[in-house]
Amino acid sequence: MAKGFVFATPVVVLILLLLFYAELCRASTIGVCYGRNADDLPTPDKVAQLVHSILPYYPATKITYITVGAEITENPSNVSALVIPAMQNVHTALKKAGLHKKIKVSSTHSLRVLSRSFPPSAGAFDPKYAFFLKPMLEFLAENESPFMVDIYPYYAYRDSPTNVSLDYALFQSSSEVIDPNTGLLYTSMFDAQIDALYFALMALNFRTIKIMVTETGWPSKGSPKETAATPDNAQTYNSNLIRHVINDTGTPGKPGEELDVYIFSLFNENRKPGLESERNWGLFYPDQTSVYSLDFSGRGAVDITQANITSSNGTWCIASSTASELDLQNALDWACGPGNVDCSAIQPSQACYQPDTLLSHASYAFNSYYQQTGATDVACSFGGTGVKTNKNPSYDNCLYMTFGATRVLQIM
């Protein structure tokens, strides 16, 4: 399975950086795993700048989960007995710091922790892992932490293409797979695997534990026999995944259930062993150019390249005159709220209040966010409601900010 981090000791702590889409802060979220198993990756400060440019809707990264170990059942060394005590120690430390309600502790698992996953209603944990799974599940339930799992429909298709259709693996199936025990209909392998885990949890009477997908994705390149590992398929899988998650579709077994998902991975990693696909799961090449277009808003593709994260003087960002009032209002509310834009200038009696129109106020707020985050192309997206212009939109005493006038320091 794809591994997101390099481990120097049997049990170590991973910090998952959750990349919030602003409108979803109370619903499902999408994040990206930052794998570093390579010797040609950009320096951490460059990565921070890059991560910021795929975040046009929220200019901060929040630490929300700590995982202790990763896919420990896949480790040839028997370290599983150490995981629960380590999780308890980390939780105790967080509690002393007053952070245990904000930062949850868990451990990631391979889907092979299940002995059976089809049909989903027959999902069951492998009995050989019961000695550590039971106390772990009790810990998760007590502390309201999620069960973390890495899910890869790609491998299921690659290893058994006669039994799994490519469309079913890519969220594109026009036919349905029926669970004979429940009558539930499945159009994607992802949903079927998630429900198999929920049924396995319910079989052990753990009905309140939520599931978090800590790794999933699709490789953009593979060896000659890995014909499904292409940029088009990777873009299709991840785009459909994002749309599926942020719409809070849920699964057939858990309709409307919120689900947090991390896409693997931020970069291609040239030191990973195995077939060619193992080194090509990234959204970006080491030079920070995008492997394919991907938009975390779920509204369309945005091509993020090295040029997109280069400062651009002499341009401004304004609201599109063709955008709907609802979209403009949502974008304006975000910019003046989570976007950290100082919107005092568009308040009554202030310099940019007149004309008192949604288009004018949104233009001022959009430009302020655009400039203070480095005047990047993506920072003027606002879900398609922002457009760049070379004409200075300033008027009378209302002065629109330009890049370099103000910078906001953000710790990623």
Q: Report the alpha-carbon distance of residue 126 to residue 130 in Å, rounded.
A: 7
Q: Report the alpha-carbon distance of residue 167 to residue 179 in Å, rounded.
A: 18
Which of 169, 178, 153 lies closest to 252, judged by CA? 178
CA torsion angle 111 73 270 190 (round to 10): 10
Structure tokens, 262: 């991390």
Q: Report the alpha-carbon distance of residue 383 to residue 398 in Å, rounded.
A: 25
Q: What are phi and psi of 267, to 5 degrees?
A: -125, 155
The answer to whether 21 and 52 are in contact (CB under 8 A) is: no
23 catalytic per annotation:
no
Q: How many CA atoms lie within 13 A of 370 on its CB side?
A: 32
Residue among 71, 142, 276, 278 flagged as catalytic: 71
| C-beta neighbour count of 402 within 10 angstroms | 17
Q: Report the alpha-carbon distance of residue 42 to residue 287 in Å, rounded.
A: 7
Q: Report the alpha-carbon distance of residue 31 to residue 214 in Å, rounded.
A: 9
For 317-343, give one letter per residue: b (16+ CB within 10 A) or e.
bbbbeebeeebbebbbbbbbebbbbeb
Q: Report the alpha-carbon distance of residue 189 to residue 261 in Å, rounded.
A: 15
If phi > 0 it is left, if psi is from -120 to 50 it is alpha, else beta; for residue 298 that is left
Q: Report the alpha-carbon distance of residue 162 to residue 322 in Å, rounded.
A: 47
Residues forming beta bridges with residue 250, ordered by sequence position: 255
Q: Which residue has the tokens 């310099």?
A: 351
71 catalytic per annotation:
yes
Q: How many CA atoms lie within 13 A of 128 on its CB side?
A: 8
- Could you give the 3-state DSSP secondary structure of residue 283? coil
Residue among 142, 176, 215, 276 flagged as catalytic: 215
Residues forming beta bridges with residue 290, ordered by sequence position: 284
Which residues are designated catalytic?
A: 71, 215
